[in-house]
């Protein structure tokens, strides 16, 4: 046997690249109003409610009811992603990870959409003629961590209160209503519901994935929701909203490119970019629920 045979031996690798656990792109995009935006900032016009005028005289003048105009501003933020795949790496790995790199980039940029939506839901909305007036989510649209008497996680009582707030705000309850939750909130909901109750059976079905709705909300899981403080007193936001209450603007939507870079000794460069911005369109369409994490 030739002594040179071992030179031809090659380390063996699996042909597939395993993607490590992560939120694979956006989960909230389909739950909000989506617009394609042109320009760094764009305004979305609104008309407020008015009152009718009672007729008290015959043949009197027609009234002039001044309509209340308002607007919300969305400002785009831009994010990109890039990485090189060295020609030598491809030879040594015996696989081409280009597709996996591209998919990883798309996942990362998709998560930026959800981050903008979450920020817009509980943050200040830019309003006014120039979009320079910040409007905070009022306390009347919030369910406190201690709702019901003690600081607790997500409970049926908190969901009932969130629903009540949306109904009181004259939301169209035939419009899709969503609730973004983290894993701990769902576990709390299951643990604080009586085993013998119908609510418990519904939540258990939700955990198993047999249903995706409860208390009129379509549940959407994401671990991107804001956490404040540290264990054991950490608090996390759970968000409930009507679909038209939050707006996501994209420009551009996720774009990817794979190019050979001869200035980098022929390495392949995987690149992706996206622009996005979000705004809360109406305060009465969003409810913030604080839960003990």
Residue 216 CB burial class (10 angstroms; 0-12, 13-18, ≥19): middle
For the record, the structure tokens of 173 come out as 């309850």
Higher pLDDT, 281 or 198: 281
Which pLDDT band, with edges at 50, 70 and 90, does 98 fall under? confident
The dihedral built from the CA positions of residue 160, 165, 167 and 172, taken in this order, carries a sign that is: negative
* φ and ψ at residue 139, rounded to 5 degrees: -60, -25
pLDDT above 60 (res 13): no
Asked which of 164-178, 195-209, 219-233 is least confident by mean pLDDT, the reply is 195-209
pLDDT above 80 (res 70): yes
- For residue 88, the model assigns a pLDDT of 64
Q: Model's pTM, two decimal places?
A: 0.86
pLDDT above 90 (res 26): yes
pLDDT above 50 (res 11): no
pLDDT above 80 (res 5): no
227 three-state secondary structure = strand
CA 184 to CA 290: how far, in whole Å? 12
Across all residues in the chain, what is the average pLDDT? 88
- For residue 194, the model assigns a pLDDT of 65
pLDDT above 50 (res 2): no
CB 140 within 8 A of CB 165: yes
Higher pLDDT, 89 or 212: 212
CATH superfamily of 138-246+280-292: hypothetical protein PF0899 domain (3.30.2320.10)
């Amino acid at each position: 046997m030739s002594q040179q045979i071992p030179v031809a031996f090659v380390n063996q690798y699996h042909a597939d690249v395993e993607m490590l656990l992560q939120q694979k792109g956006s989960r909230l995009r389909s739950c909000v109003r989506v617009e394609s935006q042109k320009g760094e900032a764009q305004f979305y016009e609104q008309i407020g409610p008015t009152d009718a005028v009672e007729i008290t005289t015959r043949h009197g003048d027609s009234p002039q009811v001044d309509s209340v105009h308002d607007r919300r501003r969305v400002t785009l933020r831009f994010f990109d992603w890039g990485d090189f795949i060295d020609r030598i790496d491809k030879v040594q790995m015996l696989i081409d990870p280009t597709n996996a790199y591209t998919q990883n980039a798309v996942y990362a940029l998709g998560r930026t959409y959800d981050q903008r939506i979450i920020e817009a839901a509980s943050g200040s909305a830019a309003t006014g003629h120039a979009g320079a007036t910040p409007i905070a989510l009022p306390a009347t649209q919030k369910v406190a961590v201690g709702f019901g008497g003690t600081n607790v996680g997500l409970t049926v009582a908190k969901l009932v209160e969130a629903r009540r707030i949306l109904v009181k705000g004259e939301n169209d309850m035939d419009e899709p209503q969503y609730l973004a939750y983290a894993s701990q909130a769902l576990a709390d909901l299951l643990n604080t519901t009586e085993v013998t109750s119908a609510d418990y059976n519904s939540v258990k079905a939700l955990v198993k994935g047999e249903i995706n709705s409860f208390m009129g909300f379509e549940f959407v899981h994401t671990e991107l929701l804001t956490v404040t403080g540290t264990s054991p007193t950490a608090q996390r936001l759970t968000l409930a909203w009507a679909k038209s209450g939050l707006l996501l603007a994209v420009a551009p939507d996720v774009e990817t490119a794979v190019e050979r870079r001869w200035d980098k000794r022929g390495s392949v460069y995987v690149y992706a970019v996206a622009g996005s911005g979000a705004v809360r369109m109406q305060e009465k369409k969003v409810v913030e629920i604080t839960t003990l994490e």
